């Protein structure tokens, strides 16, 4: 039997605060957050290098759990990395539309959205009321990435203000579909 996969948490712009489901999962379940040198002025290449370092540091099967700009990070990294073989899956939550005209200047290096098919299974969770990405744009990115789409309904940016708490439904996807429970069933 294969070891239980590790889970890498990939927050978005400005990191995930203590009320965010990613931070709660990190504390409750021991998941590993990929730290970035600059959360306020994120440069795509720097963030990709940090993810590459984290992936290479431990060759166990890995599940990526990304929120917001972290989703764009996964797409950009996967399109350029030669080290995606141990990525079992990705949960991509609330991908932002970084090509919008009203994006802040801090996100200028993310303006071009990488739309290449991901080399691992992925699920995109989006909200019909996300202020940073219209549902149609989220579905377009999902299709290009070859991912499965799931609408969470009216949950804003699916963050700390969305009232998800520990978000057990999302955790069940990570642990059940690609975690120890799924491995035991194989």
With beta carbons less than 8 A apart as the criterion, state whether 127 and 158 touch: yes
What is the strand order of the sheet 148-151 is part of?
A: 32-33, 6-10, 62-67, 87-93, 122-126, 148-151
Residue that the structure tokens 């009321």 belong to: 129
% of the chain surpassing 90 pLDDT = 89
- Confidence (pTM): 0.93
Whether residue 180 is predicted with pLDDT greater than 60 in this model: the reply is: no
Distance CA 148, CA 92 (A): 10
Residue 23 domain flag = yes
pLDDT of residue 107: 97
Note down the domain range covering 51.
Answer: 12-185
* CATH code, domain with 177: 3.40.50.1820
Residue 5 domain flag = no
Distance CA 81, CA 77 (A): 6
How many separate domains does the chain show? Answer: 1
Residue 17 domain flag = yes
pLDDT tens across 93-148, in order? 999 999 999 999 999 999 999 999 999 999 999 999 999 999 999 999 999 999 99
pLDDT tens across 27-62, in order? 999 999 999 999 999 999 999 999 999 999 999 999
């Amino acid at each position: 039997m294969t070891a239980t996969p590790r889970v890498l948490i990939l927050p978005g712009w400005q990191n995930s605060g203590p009320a965010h489901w990613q931070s709660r999962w990190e504390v409750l379940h021991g998941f590993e957050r990929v730290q970035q040198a600059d959360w306020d002025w994120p440069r795509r290449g720097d963030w990709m290098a940090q993810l590459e370092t984290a992936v290479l540091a431990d060759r166990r099967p890995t599940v990526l759990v990304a929120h917001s700009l972290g989703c764009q990070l996964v797409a950009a990294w996967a399109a350029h990395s030669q080290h995606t073989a141990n990525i079992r899956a990705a949960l991509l939550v609330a991908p932002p539309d970084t090509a919008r005209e009203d994006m802040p200047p801090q996100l200028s290096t993310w303006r071009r959205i990488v739309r290449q098919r991901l080399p691992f299974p992925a699920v995109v969770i989006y909200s019909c009321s996300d202020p940073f990405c219209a549902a149609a744009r989220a579905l377009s990115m999902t299709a290009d990435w070859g991912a499965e789409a799931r609408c969470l309904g009216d949950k804003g940016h699916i963050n700390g203000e969305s009232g998800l708490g520990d978000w057990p439904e999302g955790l069940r996807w990570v642990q059940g579909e690609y975690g120890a429970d799924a491995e035991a069933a194989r």
